[in-house]
Amino acid sequence: MKAKIISTALALATGTLYLSASVKLTILYDNTIHTPGTRSDWGFSCLVEKEGYSLLFDAGTQPSILAANAKKLGVDLSAIRHVMISHGHRDHFGGLQAVLRAASEGVTVYVPPKMPQAALQEISAAGGKVVPASSAVLPIPGMTSTGILGDGIPEQGLIIRTGKQNILITGCAHPGIVTIVGSARELVGGSIDVVVGGFHLSGHSAQAITGIIQDFRNLGVRRAGPTHCTGEKAIKAFRESYANDFVEMGVGQVLEFE
């Protein structure tokens, strides 16, 4: 049964067959709680499941909290073969050991530039395979990195293409959330319909936040789910502006997109 799913996925990857496929996102680590009984903490992690593949986007800060949230939510960390780290801050890679310890097979970790050397050594020592994210290509159908953006704190986001819409997940958005959305649009040559993750706007004035929401509208973003480092003021502004199209985040939230 498993082999059958993989062969379909490979056919999709090689372009011999094209079907639109839904994607499921499960928030495993966030500053806020969605599902009672989970734990919140500063950091971000989101499990992405699509066509028999699962990829963990970021891994939160503490392995114990990531493991506890996964257990509470019925997520099997040992099934994860691919991890993408957005940028080299501990609140995005610190929980990695929970995945590497649980793994029954090798885990490939796509790392950005400027990851601390000690963190890379820890991944290798735990049996993980470190792959520098030098290109946008991922070996998973319908998933691609934005490529590395920004000079100060280089960062990558994850683009998921379902065939009907494009979804962008961001870690902390240090290169600027609007810059990342714009780059993602250019890369896919089409709209970015949904943006979720950290938008990094806590230092921004109300006026600047209004301008960023307008930029989102101008870029054609139909739904937005700011969380983690976005800042309460900006989250509130997005919630008011996007209304029914605002995507609530928090640990335990499960989002499905066709």
Using CB under 5 A as the criterion, which residues of the chain lie in contact with Zn ion when the complex forms?
89, 91, 172, 229
Shortest distance (Å) from residue 172 CB to Zn ion: 3
User: CA-CA distance, 224 to 227, in Å (whole number)?
Assistant: 10
Choose among 189, 94, 110, 119: nearest CA to 145: 110
Shortest distance (Å) from residue 248 CB to Zn ion: 19
Shortest distance (Å) from residue 169 CB to Zn ion: 13
The rounded radius of gyration (Å) of the Cα atoms in the chain is 17
Shortest distance (Å) from residue 109 CB to Zn ion: 17
Please measure the distance between the N-terminal and C-terminal CA atoms of the chain and give it in whole angstroms: 23
Shortest distance (Å) from residue 232 CB to Zn ion: 15
Shortest distance (Å) from residue 198 CB to Zn ion: 5
H, E, C per residue of 149-211 = ECCCCCECCEEEECCCCEEEEECCCCCCHHHHHHHHHHHHCCCCCEEEEECCCCCCCHHHHHH
Q: Are 65 and 95 within 8 A, CB to CB?
A: yes
User: What is the spatial order of strands in the sheet that 223-227 belongs to?
Assistant: 143-145, 158-161, 166-170, 194-198, 223-227
Closer residue to Zn ion, CB minimum distance, 59 or 75: 59
Shortest distance (Å) from residue 201 CB to Zn ion: 12
Closer residue to Zn ion, CB minimum distance, 12 or 177: 177
Closer residue to Zn ion, CB minimum distance, 54 or 86: 86
Amino acid at 18: Y
DSSP tag of 136: S
Which residue matches tokens 């994210």? 133
User: CA-CA distance, 82 to 139, in Å (whole number)?
Assistant: 9
Choose among 40, 61, 59, 39: nearest CA to 111: 59
